[in-house]
Protein backbone atom coordinates (compact mmCIF):
# COMPACT_ATOMS: atom_id res chain seq x y z
CA UNK A 1 0.00 0.00 0.00
CA UNK A 2 1.35 3.41 -0.96
CA UNK A 3 1.76 6.04 1.75
CA UNK A 4 -1.45 7.91 2.51
CA UNK A 5 -1.44 11.63 1.75
CA UNK A 6 -2.45 14.33 4.23
CA UNK A 7 -6.23 14.65 4.42
CA UNK A 8 -6.85 11.09 3.16
CA UNK A 9 -9.86 9.23 4.46
CA UNK A 10 -9.92 5.50 5.14
CA UNK A 11 -13.56 4.93 4.35
CA UNK A 12 -16.84 5.94 5.98
CA UNK A 13 -15.09 6.81 9.22
CA UNK A 14 -14.39 10.28 10.68
CA UNK A 15 -10.60 9.93 10.59
CA UNK A 16 -8.41 12.12 8.39
CA UNK A 17 -4.72 11.34 7.93
CA UNK A 18 -2.27 14.02 9.11
CA UNK A 19 1.04 12.26 8.58
CA UNK A 20 2.84 8.95 8.76
CA UNK A 21 4.57 8.39 12.09
CA UNK A 22 8.00 7.53 10.65
CA UNK A 23 10.16 5.75 13.22
CA UNK A 24 7.13 4.72 15.28
CA UNK A 25 6.35 2.12 12.61
CA UNK A 26 6.02 -1.56 13.38
CA UNK A 27 7.09 -4.41 11.15
CA UNK A 28 3.55 -5.58 10.51
CA UNK A 29 1.55 -2.35 10.25
CA UNK A 30 1.75 1.25 9.07
CA UNK A 31 1.04 3.84 11.74
CA UNK A 32 -0.51 7.24 11.01
CA UNK A 33 -1.37 10.27 13.10
CA UNK A 34 -4.98 11.17 12.34
CA UNK A 35 -7.56 13.76 13.33
CA UNK A 36 -11.15 13.06 14.24
CA UNK A 37 -13.09 15.27 11.83
CA UNK A 38 -12.10 17.46 8.90
CA UNK A 39 -9.94 20.02 10.75
CA UNK A 40 -6.27 19.07 10.41
CA UNK A 41 -4.79 21.76 12.65
CA UNK A 42 -3.12 19.61 15.31
CA UNK A 43 -3.54 22.33 17.95
CA UNK A 44 -7.33 22.27 17.64
CA UNK A 45 -8.28 18.64 17.12
CA UNK A 46 -8.52 15.37 18.94
CA UNK A 47 -5.60 13.26 17.76
CA UNK A 48 -5.54 9.49 17.44
CA UNK A 49 -3.29 6.88 15.90
CA UNK A 50 -4.58 4.68 13.10
CA UNK A 51 -2.76 1.36 12.78
CA UNK A 52 -3.24 -0.28 9.35
CA UNK A 53 -2.00 -3.79 8.57
CA UNK A 54 0.56 -4.05 5.80
CA UNK A 55 -0.34 -5.84 2.57
CA UNK A 56 1.89 -8.82 1.86
CA UNK A 57 1.13 -11.86 -0.26
CA UNK A 58 3.21 -14.11 2.00
CA UNK A 59 2.59 -12.71 5.48
CA UNK A 60 -0.60 -10.70 5.03
CA UNK A 61 -2.73 -13.18 6.94
CA UNK A 62 -0.21 -13.28 9.77
CA UNK A 63 -0.20 -9.47 9.97
CA UNK A 64 -3.99 -9.45 10.20
CA UNK A 65 -3.87 -12.11 12.92
CA UNK A 66 -1.43 -10.08 15.01
CA UNK A 67 -3.65 -6.98 14.85
CA UNK A 68 -6.68 -9.05 15.77
CA UNK A 69 -4.76 -10.54 18.69
CA UNK A 70 -3.63 -7.08 19.83
CA UNK A 71 -7.16 -5.71 19.68
CA UNK A 72 -8.51 -8.59 21.77
CA UNK A 73 -5.78 -8.06 24.38
CA UNK A 74 -6.12 -4.28 24.60
CA UNK A 75 -9.89 -4.44 24.95
CA UNK A 76 -9.33 -6.09 28.33
CA UNK A 77 -6.20 -4.29 29.52
CA UNK A 78 -6.89 -0.98 31.28
CA UNK A 79 -3.73 0.57 32.69
CA UNK A 80 -1.97 3.96 32.27
CA UNK A 81 1.20 2.13 31.25
CA UNK A 82 -0.56 0.40 28.32
CA UNK A 83 -1.64 2.12 25.11
CA UNK A 84 -5.38 2.67 25.03
CA UNK A 85 -7.55 1.14 22.32
CA UNK A 86 -10.53 3.19 21.05
CA UNK A 87 -13.77 1.95 19.48
CA UNK A 88 -13.92 2.82 15.78
CA UNK A 89 -16.46 5.58 15.20
CA UNK A 90 -18.96 5.38 12.36
CA UNK A 91 -22.22 7.20 11.95
CA UNK A 92 -25.25 4.97 12.18
CA UNK A 93 -23.51 2.14 14.05
CA UNK A 94 -24.92 1.30 17.45
CA UNK A 95 -22.28 -1.23 18.50
CA UNK A 96 -18.89 0.26 17.62
CA UNK A 97 -16.23 -2.23 16.51
CA UNK A 98 -12.59 -2.15 17.57
CA UNK A 99 -11.28 -3.43 14.24
CA UNK A 100 -12.53 -2.77 10.72
CA UNK A 101 -11.49 -2.88 7.06
CA UNK A 102 -10.35 0.34 5.43
CA UNK A 103 -11.65 1.44 2.04
CA UNK A 104 -8.14 1.23 0.60
CA UNK A 105 -6.48 -1.04 -1.99
CA UNK A 106 -6.40 -4.57 -0.62
CA UNK A 107 -8.99 -3.74 2.06
CA UNK A 108 -6.47 -3.77 4.94
CA UNK A 109 -7.65 -4.03 8.53
CA UNK A 110 -7.09 -1.18 10.95
CA UNK A 111 -7.54 -0.18 14.59
CA UNK A 112 -7.56 3.18 16.39
CA UNK A 113 -5.47 3.92 19.47
CA UNK A 114 -4.49 6.87 21.64
CA UNK A 115 -1.81 9.24 20.44
CA UNK A 116 1.30 9.33 22.62
CA UNK A 117 3.20 12.58 22.15
CA UNK A 118 6.60 11.28 23.24
CA UNK A 119 9.03 9.33 21.12
CA UNK A 120 10.02 5.69 21.35
CA UNK A 121 12.69 4.57 23.78
CA UNK A 122 14.60 3.27 20.74
CA UNK A 123 14.69 6.76 19.22
CA UNK A 124 15.80 8.25 22.54
CA UNK A 125 18.65 5.74 22.77
CA UNK A 126 19.71 6.52 19.21
CA UNK A 127 20.03 10.17 20.16
CA UNK A 128 21.57 9.79 23.61
CA UNK A 129 23.18 6.33 23.60
CA UNK A 130 23.24 6.23 27.42
CA UNK A 131 20.63 7.60 29.80
CA UNK A 132 21.13 9.01 33.25
CA UNK A 133 21.10 6.04 35.63
CA UNK A 134 18.24 7.48 37.70
CA UNK A 135 16.13 8.03 34.57
CA UNK A 136 16.85 4.52 33.30
CA UNK A 137 15.89 3.00 36.64
CA UNK A 138 12.64 4.99 36.83
CA UNK A 139 11.66 4.04 33.27
CA UNK A 140 12.35 0.39 34.05
CA UNK A 141 10.51 0.55 37.38
CA UNK A 142 7.43 1.99 35.71
CA UNK A 143 7.50 -0.66 32.97
CA UNK A 144 7.98 -3.42 35.55
CA UNK A 145 4.90 -2.19 37.43
CA UNK A 146 2.95 -2.31 34.16
CA UNK A 147 4.19 -5.84 33.46
CA UNK A 148 3.17 -6.87 36.97
CA UNK A 149 -0.39 -5.78 36.13
CA UNK A 150 -0.26 -7.78 32.87
CA UNK A 151 1.24 -10.86 34.51
CA UNK A 152 -1.34 -10.83 37.29
CA UNK A 153 -3.92 -11.24 34.53
CA UNK A 154 -1.96 -14.31 33.39
CA UNK A 155 -0.81 -12.63 30.18
CA UNK A 156 2.68 -12.26 28.70
CA UNK A 157 3.69 -9.47 26.27
CA UNK A 158 6.53 -11.42 24.59
CA UNK A 159 7.79 -8.45 22.55
CA UNK A 160 9.39 -6.12 25.10
CA UNK A 161 11.98 -3.95 23.33
CA UNK A 162 12.80 -0.22 23.02
CA UNK A 163 10.77 0.10 19.81
CA UNK A 164 7.65 -0.93 21.73
CA UNK A 165 8.02 1.63 24.51
CA UNK A 166 6.59 5.10 23.85
CA UNK A 167 6.48 8.05 26.23
CA UNK A 168 3.18 9.71 26.93
CA UNK A 169 4.97 13.07 26.88
CA UNK A 170 8.51 14.06 25.89
CA UNK A 171 10.93 13.81 28.82
CA UNK A 172 11.15 17.09 30.69
CA UNK A 173 13.16 18.30 33.64
CA UNK A 174 11.34 17.89 36.95
CA UNK A 175 8.72 15.47 35.58
CA UNK A 176 8.60 11.71 35.91
CA UNK A 177 8.98 9.80 32.63
CA UNK A 178 5.75 8.09 31.58
CA UNK A 179 6.66 5.03 29.49
CA UNK A 180 3.79 3.21 27.79
CA UNK A 181 3.84 -0.32 26.35
CA UNK A 182 2.55 -0.78 22.80
CA UNK A 183 2.33 -3.59 20.24
CA UNK A 184 0.57 -6.55 21.82
CA UNK A 185 0.43 -8.41 18.51
CA UNK A 186 2.09 -11.61 19.76
CA UNK A 187 1.01 -11.37 23.42
CA UNK A 188 -0.54 -14.52 24.84
CA UNK A 189 -1.87 -16.10 27.95
CA UNK A 190 0.84 -17.74 30.05
CA UNK A 191 1.36 -21.26 28.73
CA UNK A 192 -0.65 -20.65 25.54
CA UNK A 193 0.70 -21.70 22.17
CA UNK A 194 0.20 -19.24 19.33
CA UNK A 195 1.86 -16.57 17.22
CA UNK A 196 5.65 -16.78 17.46
CA UNK A 197 7.86 -13.82 16.54
CA UNK A 198 10.31 -11.47 18.16
CA UNK A 199 13.65 -9.67 17.84
CA UNK A 200 16.68 -11.82 18.63
CA UNK A 201 18.51 -9.35 20.90
CA UNK A 202 15.58 -9.23 23.33
CA UNK A 203 14.67 -12.93 23.36
CA UNK A 204 15.33 -14.97 26.50
CA UNK A 205 17.58 -18.06 26.18
CA UNK A 206 14.66 -20.47 26.34
CA UNK A 207 13.01 -18.72 23.38
CA UNK A 208 16.28 -18.58 21.44
CA UNK A 209 16.59 -22.36 21.73
CA UNK A 210 13.25 -22.68 19.96
CA UNK A 211 14.25 -20.17 17.24
CA UNK A 212 17.52 -22.04 16.69
CA UNK A 213 15.67 -25.35 16.50
CA UNK A 214 17.32 -27.03 19.50
CA UNK A 215 13.96 -28.40 20.61
CA UNK A 216 11.04 -29.76 18.62
CA UNK A 217 7.88 -27.58 18.64
CA UNK A 218 6.06 -29.91 21.02
CA UNK A 219 8.78 -29.39 23.67
CA UNK A 220 9.13 -25.64 23.39
CA UNK A 221 8.85 -23.71 26.65
CA UNK A 222 5.45 -22.06 26.82
CA UNK A 223 5.11 -18.28 27.35
CA UNK A 224 5.97 -17.29 30.89
CA UNK A 225 6.22 -13.89 32.65
CA UNK A 226 9.94 -14.45 33.23
CA UNK A 227 10.46 -13.96 29.47
CA UNK A 228 9.20 -10.38 29.75
CA UNK A 229 11.40 -9.76 32.79
CA UNK A 230 14.47 -10.92 30.83
CA UNK A 231 13.72 -8.49 27.99
CA UNK A 232 13.11 -5.67 30.49
CA UNK A 233 16.43 -6.42 32.18
CA UNK A 234 18.13 -6.26 28.80
CA UNK A 235 16.56 -2.84 28.13
CA UNK A 236 17.80 -1.52 31.48
CA UNK A 237 21.25 -2.84 30.63
CA UNK A 238 21.28 -0.97 27.31
CA UNK A 239 19.95 2.25 28.87
CA UNK A 240 22.75 2.45 31.45
CA UNK A 241 25.61 0.76 29.54
CA UNK A 242 24.87 2.27 26.14
CA UNK A 243 25.25 -1.09 24.43
CA UNK A 244 24.15 -4.71 24.46
CA UNK A 245 26.09 -6.97 26.83
CA UNK A 246 27.27 -9.21 24.01
CA UNK A 247 29.03 -6.55 21.95
CA UNK A 248 28.95 -6.19 18.20
CA UNK A 249 28.45 -9.73 17.01
CA UNK A 250 26.86 -11.55 14.12
CA UNK A 251 23.43 -13.10 14.51
CA UNK A 252 25.05 -16.47 15.19
CA UNK A 253 27.40 -14.91 17.73
CA UNK A 254 24.57 -13.16 19.56
CA UNK A 255 22.60 -16.43 19.67
CA UNK A 256 25.56 -18.27 21.16
CA UNK A 257 26.19 -15.51 23.71
CA UNK A 258 22.55 -15.46 24.85
CA UNK A 259 22.53 -19.22 25.32
CA UNK A 260 25.85 -19.04 27.19
CA UNK A 261 24.10 -16.79 29.72
CA UNK A 262 27.13 -14.88 31.05
CA UNK A 263 26.65 -11.21 30.14
CA UNK A 264 29.29 -8.67 31.13
CA UNK A 265 28.36 -6.52 34.15
CA UNK A 266 26.95 -3.08 33.17
CA UNK A 267 29.54 -1.35 35.39
CA UNK A 268 32.18 -2.45 32.88
CA UNK A 269 30.84 0.26 30.57
CA UNK A 270 29.60 2.78 33.15
CA UNK A 271 31.68 3.30 36.27
CA UNK A 272 28.81 4.95 38.17
CA UNK A 273 26.87 1.66 38.29
CA UNK A 274 26.90 0.23 41.81
CA UNK A 275 27.50 -3.48 42.33
CA UNK A 276 24.00 -3.99 43.73
CA UNK A 277 22.52 -2.57 40.54
CA UNK A 278 24.88 -4.81 38.56
CA UNK A 279 23.56 -7.79 40.51
CA UNK A 280 19.93 -6.87 39.93
CA UNK A 281 20.37 -6.43 36.18
CA UNK A 282 22.31 -9.69 35.85
CA UNK A 283 19.68 -11.49 37.90
CA UNK A 284 16.99 -10.36 35.44
CA UNK A 285 19.21 -11.77 32.66
CA UNK A 286 19.70 -15.14 34.35
CA UNK A 287 19.74 -18.05 31.90
CA UNK A 288 17.58 -20.04 34.33
CA UNK A 289 14.06 -18.50 34.29
CA UNK A 290 13.46 -19.52 37.90
CA UNK A 291 16.34 -17.29 39.03
CA UNK A 292 14.85 -14.12 37.55
CA UNK A 293 12.79 -11.80 39.77
CA UNK A 294 9.11 -11.30 39.12
CA UNK A 295 8.06 -7.99 37.59
CA UNK A 296 6.83 -6.80 40.99
CA UNK A 297 10.08 -7.78 42.70
CA UNK A 298 12.04 -6.03 39.95
CA UNK A 299 10.02 -2.82 40.37
CA UNK A 300 10.35 -2.77 44.17
CA UNK A 301 14.08 -3.53 44.09
CA UNK A 302 14.69 -0.68 41.62
CA UNK A 303 12.74 1.76 43.75
CA UNK A 304 14.61 0.75 46.87
CA UNK A 305 18.03 0.96 45.21
CA UNK A 306 17.33 4.36 43.69
CA UNK A 307 16.61 5.71 47.17
CA UNK A 308 19.16 3.83 49.23
CA UNK A 309 22.11 4.24 46.85
CA UNK A 310 21.32 7.83 45.99
CA UNK A 311 20.42 7.43 42.33
CA UNK A 312 18.15 10.31 41.44
CA UNK A 313 16.57 11.01 38.09
CA UNK A 314 18.07 14.06 36.36
CA UNK A 315 15.51 14.49 33.64
CA UNK A 316 17.32 17.50 32.21
CA UNK A 317 20.56 15.57 31.69
CA UNK A 318 20.29 12.43 29.59
CA UNK A 319 23.75 12.39 28.00
CA UNK A 320 26.45 9.90 29.04
CA UNK A 321 28.48 10.95 32.07
CA UNK A 322 31.87 12.21 30.79
CA UNK A 323 34.86 9.99 31.57
CA UNK A 324 36.43 12.82 33.59
CA UNK A 325 33.42 12.87 35.88
CA UNK A 326 33.43 9.11 36.33
CA UNK A 327 37.00 8.81 37.63
CA UNK A 328 39.64 11.06 39.14
CA UNK A 329 42.90 11.72 37.25
CA UNK A 330 45.53 9.05 37.86
CA UNK A 331 47.99 11.57 39.25
CA UNK A 332 45.64 12.58 42.07
CA UNK A 333 45.17 16.09 40.72
CA UNK A 334 41.38 15.81 41.04
CA UNK A 335 39.35 15.34 44.17
CA UNK A 336 37.15 12.29 44.60
CA UNK A 337 33.48 12.81 45.37
CA UNK A 338 34.01 11.25 48.78
CA UNK A 339 36.83 13.69 49.60
CA UNK A 340 34.89 16.64 48.21
CA UNK A 341 31.80 15.66 50.19
CA UNK A 342 33.84 15.21 53.38
CA UNK A 343 35.47 18.60 52.98
CA UNK A 344 32.12 20.22 52.30
CA UNK A 345 30.60 18.64 55.41
CA UNK A 346 33.60 19.66 57.51
CA UNK A 347 33.34 23.23 56.23
CA UNK A 348 29.62 23.25 56.93
CA UNK A 349 30.20 22.01 60.47
CA UNK A 350 32.83 24.71 61.01
CA UNK A 351 30.51 27.45 59.74
CA UNK A 352 27.65 26.19 61.89
CA UNK A 353 29.96 25.99 64.92
CA UNK A 354 31.16 29.54 64.43
CA UNK A 355 27.60 30.74 63.97
CA UNK A 356 26.53 28.95 67.14
CA UNK A 357 29.43 30.52 69.02
CA UNK A 358 28.52 33.99 67.83
CA UNK A 359 24.93 33.48 68.90
CA UNK A 360 25.80 32.12 72.32
CA UNK A 361 28.74 34.44 73.12
CA UNK A 362 26.58 37.38 74.35
CA UNK A 363 24.68 35.04 76.63
CA UNK A 364 27.86 33.60 78.10
CA UNK A 365 29.23 37.12 78.60
CA UNK A 366 25.91 38.15 80.14
CA UNK A 367 26.11 35.33 82.65
CA UNK A 368 29.61 36.38 83.68
CA UNK A 369 28.28 39.92 84.29
CA UNK A 370 25.43 38.64 86.41
CA UNK A 371 22.78 38.98 83.75
CA UNK A 372 19.96 36.43 83.51
CA UNK A 373 20.54 34.14 80.54
CA UNK A 374 17.82 33.59 77.97
CA UNK A 375 15.80 30.39 78.33
CA UNK A 376 17.43 27.34 76.76
CA UNK A 377 14.60 26.90 74.26
CA UNK A 378 15.15 30.44 73.02
CA UNK A 379 18.85 29.82 72.60
CA UNK A 380 18.20 26.68 70.55
CA UNK A 381 15.63 28.43 68.41
CA UNK A 382 18.01 31.29 67.70
CA UNK A 383 20.97 29.01 67.09
CA UNK A 384 19.02 26.97 64.52
CA UNK A 385 17.16 29.79 62.84
CA UNK A 386 18.59 29.01 59.39
CA UNK A 387 19.20 25.23 59.24
CA UNK A 388 20.77 23.48 56.28
CA UNK A 389 18.45 20.86 54.77
CA UNK A 390 20.03 17.56 55.86
CA UNK A 391 17.63 15.48 53.74
CA UNK A 392 18.67 16.93 50.38
CA UNK A 393 19.36 13.80 48.29
CA UNK A 394 22.74 13.44 46.57
CA UNK A 395 22.77 13.73 42.82
CA UNK A 396 24.81 10.54 42.35
CA UNK A 397 25.66 7.46 44.44
CA UNK A 398 28.22 8.13 47.15
CA UNK A 399 31.74 7.69 45.83
CA UNK A 400 32.65 5.46 48.76
CA UNK A 401 30.62 2.60 47.26
CA UNK A 402 31.92 2.89 43.70
CA UNK A 403 34.38 0.33 42.27
CA UNK A 404 37.97 1.44 42.72
CA UNK A 405 38.90 0.14 39.30
CA UNK A 406 37.05 -0.84 36.18
CA UNK A 407 35.59 -4.35 36.51
CA UNK A 408 37.15 -7.00 34.32
CA UNK A 409 35.13 -7.67 31.18
CA UNK A 410 33.13 -10.81 31.51
CA UNK A 411 33.31 -10.79 35.27
CA UNK A 412 29.57 -10.40 35.71
CA UNK A 413 27.99 -13.45 37.30
CA UNK A 414 24.26 -13.86 37.69
CA UNK A 415 23.50 -13.19 41.36
CA UNK A 416 21.51 -15.46 43.58
CA UNK A 417 19.39 -12.90 45.39
CA UNK A 418 17.91 -9.48 44.88
CA UNK A 419 19.68 -6.61 46.65
CA UNK A 420 17.48 -5.63 49.54
CA UNK A 421 17.96 -3.35 52.51
CA UNK A 422 18.93 -5.27 55.66
CA UNK A 423 15.91 -5.49 57.91
CA UNK A 424 16.37 -3.24 60.89
CA UNK A 425 12.85 -3.53 62.19
CA UNK A 426 10.18 -6.16 61.74
CA UNK A 427 7.42 -5.00 59.37
CA UNK A 428 3.89 -4.77 60.64
CA UNK A 429 1.62 -7.74 60.27
CA UNK A 430 -0.26 -6.03 57.46
CA UNK A 431 2.89 -5.75 55.30
CA UNK A 432 2.65 -7.84 52.13
CA UNK A 433 5.93 -9.39 51.02
CA UNK A 434 6.75 -11.00 47.71
CA UNK A 435 9.75 -13.29 47.70
CA UNK A 436 12.90 -11.55 46.51
CA UNK A 437 14.02 -14.57 44.51
CA UNK A 438 12.92 -18.00 43.41
CA UNK A 439 14.64 -20.29 45.90
CA UNK A 440 16.72 -23.25 44.85
CA UNK A 441 17.30 -24.61 48.33
CA UNK A 442 15.83 -28.04 48.96
CA UNK A 443 15.68 -29.91 52.28
CA UNK A 444 19.13 -31.17 53.31
CA UNK A 445 20.65 -32.91 56.28
CA UNK A 446 22.26 -29.62 57.38
CA UNK A 447 19.03 -28.58 59.07
CA UNK A 448 18.82 -29.19 62.80
CA UNK A 449 15.14 -29.72 63.59
CA UNK A 450 13.69 -29.99 67.04
CA UNK A 451 12.40 -33.42 68.05
CA UNK A 452 9.43 -34.56 65.99
CA UNK A 453 7.27 -34.66 69.09
CA UNK A 454 7.01 -30.87 68.98
CA UNK A 455 5.30 -30.87 65.56
CA UNK A 456 1.60 -30.00 65.74
CA UNK A 457 -0.76 -32.87 65.33
CA UNK A 458 -3.45 -32.62 62.67
CA UNK A 459 -2.03 -29.42 61.24
CA UNK A 460 -4.22 -26.54 62.34
CA UNK A 461 -1.92 -24.35 64.37
CA UNK A 462 0.77 -24.59 67.02
CA UNK A 463 1.83 -22.28 69.81
CA UNK A 464 5.36 -21.80 71.12
CA UNK A 465 7.08 -19.60 73.65
CA UNK A 466 10.45 -18.35 72.37
CA UNK A 467 13.16 -19.15 74.88
CA UNK A 468 15.76 -16.41 74.28
CA UNK A 469 13.46 -13.45 75.09
CA UNK A 470 10.78 -12.56 77.59
CA UNK A 471 8.14 -11.77 74.96
CA UNK A 472 4.48 -12.56 74.45
CA UNK A 473 3.78 -16.10 73.21
CA UNK A 474 3.81 -16.48 69.43
CA UNK A 475 0.76 -18.12 67.87
CA UNK A 476 0.27 -18.84 64.16
CA UNK A 477 -2.69 -20.19 62.16
CA UNK A 478 -2.94 -20.74 58.40
CA UNK A 479 -5.22 -18.38 56.46
CA UNK A 480 -4.97 -18.81 52.68
CA UNK A 481 -5.07 -20.45 50.23
CA UNK A 482 -7.79 -22.48 51.86
CA UNK A 483 -7.41 -26.17 52.59
CA UNK A 484 -8.01 -28.28 49.47
CA UNK A 485 -7.37 -25.51 46.90
CA UNK A 486 -6.10 -26.13 43.37
CA UNK A 487 -3.19 -23.79 42.69
CA UNK A 488 -1.18 -22.70 39.64
CA UNK A 489 0.98 -19.68 38.79
CA UNK A 490 1.47 -16.81 41.25
CA UNK A 491 -0.11 -17.55 44.63
CA UNK A 492 -0.12 -15.69 47.93
CA UNK A 493 0.27 -17.74 51.11
CA UNK A 494 -0.83 -15.99 54.29
CA UNK A 495 -1.14 -16.80 57.96
CA UNK A 496 -2.48 -15.09 61.06
CA UNK A 497 -0.13 -14.28 63.92
CA UNK A 498 -0.25 -13.03 67.47
CA UNK A 499 2.57 -12.41 69.88
CA UNK A 500 6.12 -11.33 69.06
CA UNK A 501 8.59 -12.82 66.59
CA UNK A 502 11.96 -13.19 68.35
CA UNK A 503 14.88 -11.20 66.98
CA UNK A 504 16.92 -13.08 64.39
CA UNK A 505 14.08 -15.51 63.65
CA UNK A 506 11.61 -15.66 60.77
CA UNK A 507 8.74 -17.58 59.21
CA UNK A 508 9.36 -20.04 56.38
CA UNK A 509 6.56 -21.38 54.16
CA UNK A 510 7.26 -25.03 53.37
CA UNK A 511 5.62 -27.80 51.34
CA UNK A 512 5.84 -31.52 51.97
CA UNK A 513 4.13 -34.77 51.05
CA UNK A 514 1.55 -36.58 53.13
CA UNK A 515 3.25 -38.72 55.76
CA UNK A 516 6.34 -36.49 55.95
CA UNK A 517 7.17 -33.95 58.63
CA UNK A 518 6.79 -30.23 57.91
CA UNK A 519 10.13 -29.77 59.68
CA UNK A 520 11.85 -31.29 56.66
CA UNK A 521 9.67 -29.49 54.11
CA UNK A 522 11.00 -27.59 51.09
CA UNK A 523 10.96 -23.82 51.43
CA UNK A 524 8.91 -21.96 48.83
CA UNK A 525 11.02 -18.81 49.26
CA UNK A 526 13.46 -17.14 51.61
CA UNK A 527 12.31 -16.82 55.26
CA UNK A 528 10.31 -13.68 55.99
CA UNK A 529 9.27 -11.62 58.99
CA UNK A 530 5.91 -10.78 57.41
CA UNK A 531 2.76 -12.89 57.41
CA UNK A 532 2.24 -13.12 53.64
CA UNK A 533 4.39 -14.45 50.83
CA UNK A 534 3.75 -14.49 47.07
CA UNK A 535 5.51 -17.09 44.94
CA UNK A 536 5.32 -18.32 41.36
CA UNK A 537 4.53 -22.04 41.60
CA UNK A 538 5.02 -22.56 37.87
CA UNK A 539 8.55 -21.18 38.11
CA UNK A 540 9.30 -23.56 40.98
CA UNK A 541 7.91 -26.45 38.94
CA UNK A 542 10.33 -25.55 36.13
CA UNK A 543 13.25 -25.38 38.58
CA UNK A 544 15.15 -28.67 38.52
CA UNK A 545 16.49 -27.93 42.01
CA UNK A 546 13.06 -27.64 43.63
CA UNK A 547 10.84 -30.67 44.40
CA UNK A 548 7.51 -29.05 43.45
CA UNK A 549 5.79 -31.02 40.70
CA UNK A 550 2.16 -31.92 39.89
CA UNK A 551 0.34 -33.69 42.66
CA UNK A 552 -1.12 -33.22 46.14
CA UNK A 553 0.98 -31.27 48.64
CA UNK A 554 0.67 -30.09 52.23
CA UNK A 555 1.92 -26.68 53.29
CA UNK A 556 2.71 -24.99 56.56
CA UNK A 557 4.78 -22.36 58.33
CA UNK A 558 7.98 -23.15 60.25
CA UNK A 559 9.91 -20.95 62.65
CA UNK A 560 13.54 -20.69 61.57
CA UNK A 561 16.69 -18.97 62.71
CA UNK A 562 18.10 -16.76 59.96
CA UNK A 563 21.87 -16.82 60.50
CA UNK A 564 23.04 -19.49 60.68
CA UNK A 565 19.98 -21.09 59.11
CA UNK A 566 18.24 -23.59 61.38
CA UNK A 567 14.71 -24.96 61.58
CA UNK A 568 13.40 -24.37 65.12
CA UNK A 569 9.79 -25.52 65.14
CA UNK A 570 6.66 -26.08 63.07
CA UNK A 571 4.18 -23.32 63.87
CA UNK A 572 1.23 -24.37 61.72
CA UNK A 573 0.84 -27.02 59.02
CA UNK A 574 -1.34 -29.64 57.41
CA UNK A 575 -3.37 -27.67 54.85
CA UNK A 576 -3.56 -29.37 51.48
CA UNK A 577 -3.36 -28.06 47.91
CA UNK A 578 -3.32 -29.67 44.49
CA UNK A 579 -0.81 -28.56 41.86
CA UNK A 580 -2.27 -29.81 38.53
CA UNK A 581 -0.19 -30.85 35.49
Shared-domain flag, residues 180 and 280: yes
The three-state DSSP-derived secondary structure of 4-32 is: CCCCCECCCCCEEEEEECHHHCCCCEEEE
Which CATH number does the domain housing residue 459 bear?
2.60.40
The answer to whether the Cα torsion of 233, 237, 243, 249 is positive or negative is: negative
**Burial (CB count within 10 angstroms: exposed 0-12, middle 13-18, buried 19+), residue 251:** exposed
pLDDT in tens, the chain (581 residues): 678 888 888 888 999 999 998 755 556 789 999 998 776 666 656 899 999 998 776 777 888 888 999 999 999 999 999 999 999 988 766 778 999 988 888 889 999 999 999 999 999 998 888 899 999 999 999 999 999 999 999 999 999 999 999 999 888 777 789 999 999 989 999 888 765 677 888 899 988 887 665 555 555 678 999 999 999 999 999 999 999 888 656 677 788 888 887 888 999 999 889 999 999 999 999 999 999 999 999 999 999 999 888 886 544 444 444 443 333 333 333 334 434 444 444 444 444 444 444 444 444 344 444 444 444 333 333 333 333 333 333 333 333 333 333 333 333 333 333 333 333 333 333 333 333 343 333 333 333 333 333 333 333 333 333 334 334 578 899 999 999 899 988 999 999 998 889 888 999 999 998 878 888 889 998 899 999 999 989 888 887 778 898 889 999 999 998 877 888 888 999 999 999 88
Shared-domain flag, residues 131 and 103: no
Shared-domain flag, residues 173 and 313: yes
Shared-domain flag, residues 109 and 32: yes
Shared-domain flag, residues 109 and 212: no
| Cβ 306 vs Cβ 312: under 8 Å | yes
User: pTM here?
Assistant: 0.55
Q: What angle do CA 208, 440, 543 make, to 5 degrees?
A: 40
Shared-domain flag, residues 185 and 81: no
Residue 302: give the domain boundaries.
121-320
Shared-domain flag, residues 153 and 301: yes
Strand pairing of 485-486 and 566-579? parallel
Shared-domain flag, residues 259 and 289: yes
Q: Which of 320, 346, 377 is the last residue of a domain?
A: 320
Q: Which of 265, 288, 320 is the last residue of a domain?
A: 320
- For the chain, give the number of residues: 581
Amino acid sequence: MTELAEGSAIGPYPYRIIRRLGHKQGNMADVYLAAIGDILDTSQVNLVVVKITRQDDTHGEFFRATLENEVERLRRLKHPGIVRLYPIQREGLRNLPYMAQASLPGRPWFAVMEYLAGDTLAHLLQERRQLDIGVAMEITRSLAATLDYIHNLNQVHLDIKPQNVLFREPLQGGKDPQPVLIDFGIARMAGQAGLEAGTLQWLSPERVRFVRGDKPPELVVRPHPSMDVYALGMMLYVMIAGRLPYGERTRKGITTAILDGSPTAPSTYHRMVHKELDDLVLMALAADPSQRPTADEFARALEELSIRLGYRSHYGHLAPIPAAAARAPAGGGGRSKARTAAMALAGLALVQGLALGVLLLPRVAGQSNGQTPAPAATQVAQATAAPVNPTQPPTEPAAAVLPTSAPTAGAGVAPTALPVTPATAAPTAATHEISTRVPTRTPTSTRTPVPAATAPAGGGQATITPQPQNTAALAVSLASPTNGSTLRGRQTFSWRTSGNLPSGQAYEVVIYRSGASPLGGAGLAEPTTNNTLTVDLDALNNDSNHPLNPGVWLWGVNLVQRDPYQVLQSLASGWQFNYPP
